[in-house]
Amino acid sequence: MDSPSGSVDRPEGVLEGVNADSLAARHGTPLQVYSANAIRNRIRSLHAALQGLDALVCFAAKANSCHAILNLMAENGVGADIVSVGELERCLRAGISGSRMVFSGVGKTEAEMSRALECGVGRFNVESVDELDGLQRVAAQRGLIACAAVRVNPDVDALTHAKISTGKAENKFGVGMSEARTWFEQARQRPNVRLDGLHVHIGSQILDLGPFRQALDRVAEFHRELVAAGHAITSIDVGGGLGVCYREGHDHPPDVAAYVEVVRHALREFRGRIVLEPGRWLVAEAGVLLTRVIRVKQGEQRRFLIIDAAMNDLLRPSLYEAWHDIVAVRQASGPMIAYDIVGPVCETGDTFALARELPECQAGDLLAIKTTGAYGTSMASSYNSRPLLAEVMIDDGRSALIRQRQSLDAMIAGEVTSPQWISA
């Protein structure tokens, strides 16, 4: 957890002045815990780095769409990057105005575009000519002008996991600059779309500034070309993707000030608004997942530590083979033992770590899976009919429940137990 102490204080089992054992006893496990201060500190450091620029920070809501998290963003001057009408509605309810949102994603429907226009969404990041034509139709029907940016695909390798790389030519996102050029040339054919922005996003969990520099240099060159051709560009959206530390001593994320300096240098000739879409960087290190050991199982070749958290609570290790540091909340003395740390879901893929060394554990011990504030609960499911976990926020020695553990009634609320059959 990104806190003054930097991690769980193992001897005391304390998370920023709140006892982890007490939280687990009060709310049960698995339990997702967030630090409000850690998120505020990230926001402040980014705003400080951006000082002097006309910049809008839009939190990538897909990273964590919990109402309390979104509300914290709103209270601290952060907008939202949304990719669905569901995220739009969540952000509105949390206090983020439509004017401080950008609508991204390759699959916007015309119904979603219509609702976004109704709510005054500030800008659409457009990813295909079909979408651009659809936006023109919807805006014309409403008698409105939609502000739009073309998402350009710069064909840059983000040097990250293949499943979260979005800026290479073979990825589904954005369009090549030759096609984007045509859109600007044909802008008068779409009078209800003001195409005056550029957008680029090359991937997520990027630990090297080189790909950012390469992509933004290409965008800056394209901006100069468009301006020379007489096209007004008022906004450049540089996306997100800045990485965080999942593995202590191994991951070395760039400093946010160094990242912003790359943006400043690449766009030094641009005089409009710069939009940033951080998601993971703002919230990942602010979260820990508390989980209890159910039992230790000695197999023929492996020793398994079976915990009550599972892949439905935190999908990243199963989906991406992602590393998360895992620590015992109360550090025990004695030898370190290598465990395969697994959950109770009926899948071999329900595995958090292989041969991970921990102090000798026994049933009932409390563990903390670190850096779970992003893409944890937002990707969670009720697979195996396991309830969505409870979430808690801590703030200056206080704690508050921000999402109740899902009940069985809530889990099956939408199911029809006595179908009313209709003849075809």
**The pLDDT of residue 332:** 72
**Percent of the chain surpassing pLDDT 90:** 86
Which has more pLDDT, 9 or 249?
249
- Cβ atoms of 37 and 395 closer than 8 Å: yes
- pLDDT per residue over 227-281, tens digit each? 999 999 999 999 999 999 999 999 999 999 999 999 999 999 999 999 999 999 9
* Same domain as 183, residue 146: yes
* Same domain as 299, residue 219: no
* Same domain as 70, residue 41: yes
Give the end of a domain, one of 258, 281, 304. Answer: 281
Per-residue confidence at 127, pLDDT binned at 50, 70, 90? very high
Residues 10, 14, 16, 22, CA torsion sign = positive
346 is catalytic: yes
* Same domain as 187, residue 313: no
Per-residue confidence at 3, pLDDT binned at 50, 70, 90? very low
Give a yes or no: residue 2 inside a domain: no
**Percent of the chain surpassing pLDDT 70:** 93
* Same domain as 250, residue 306: no
Give the end of a domain, one of 256, 281, 306. Answer: 281
**pLDDT (mean) for 22-28:** 97
Give a yes or no: residue 322 inside a domain: yes
| Residue 43, pLDDT above cutoff 90 | yes
* Same domain as 291, residue 276: no
Query: Which residue is it, tokens 């041969």?
Result: 355
Query: What secondary structure letter does DSSP report for 406?
Result: P
Give a yes or no: residue 418 inside a domain: no
Which has more pLDDT, 7 or 408?
408
Say how far apart CA 372 and CA 393 lie, in whole Å: 13
**pLDDT (mean) for 58-80:** 98
**The pLDDT of residue 17:** 86
**Helix (H) or strand (E) segment spanning residue 178:** helix 177-185
Give a yes or no: residue 104 inside a domain: yes
> Which listed residue (58, 66, 245, 346) is catalytic?
346
307, amino acid identity: I
Query: Which residue is it, tokens 């939009």?
Result: 275
* Same domain as 399, residue 371: yes
Give a yes or no: residue 374 inside a domain: yes
- What is the residue-wise DSSP string for 240-302? --B---SSTTT--PPPHHHHHHHHHHHTTT--SEEEE--SHHHHGGGEEEEEEEEEEEE-SS-
Say how far apart CA 203 and CA 170 lie, in whole Å: 13
* Same domain as 219, residue 88: yes
| Residue 23, pLDDT above cutoff 90 | yes
* Same domain as 364, residue 277: no
Say how far apart CA 315 and CA 111 lie, in whole Å: 30
What helix, strand, coil percent values describe the chain, rounded to 5? 30, 25, 45
| Residue 88, pLDDT above cutoff 90 | yes
Q: What is the CATH number of the domain that holds 259?
A: 3.20.20.10
**pLDDT (mean) for 327-351:** 91
* Same domain as 292, residue 247: no
Give a yes or no: residue 113 inside a domain: yes
| Residue 173, pLDDT above cutoff 70 | no
**The pLDDT of residue 324:** 97
- pLDDT per residue over 284-296, tens digit each? 999 999 999 999 9
- pLDDT per residue over 386-402, tens digit each? 999 999 999 999 999 99
Per-residue confidence at 165, pLDDT binned at 50, 70, 90? very low
Give a yes or no: residue 420 inside a domain: no
Give the end of a domain, one of 266, 281, 296. Answer: 281
Half-sphere exposure of 393 (CA within 13 A, CB side): 17
pLDDT, the chain, mean: 92
Say how far apart CA 248 and CA 368 lie, in whole Å: 14
Q: What is the CATH number of the domain that holds 382?
A: 2.40.37.10
Say how far apart CA 166 and CA 413 lie, in whole Å: 36
Host domain of residue 40: 36-281
pTM of the complete model beyond 0.85: yes
Give a yes or no: residue 9 inside a domain: no
**The pLDDT of residue 59:** 98
* Same domain as 213, residue 242: yes
Which has more pLDDT, 51 or 8?
51
Q: How many domains, in total, are found in the chain?
A: 2
* Same domain as 380, residue 338: yes
Q: How many helices (H) and strands (E) does the chain have?
A: 12, 19
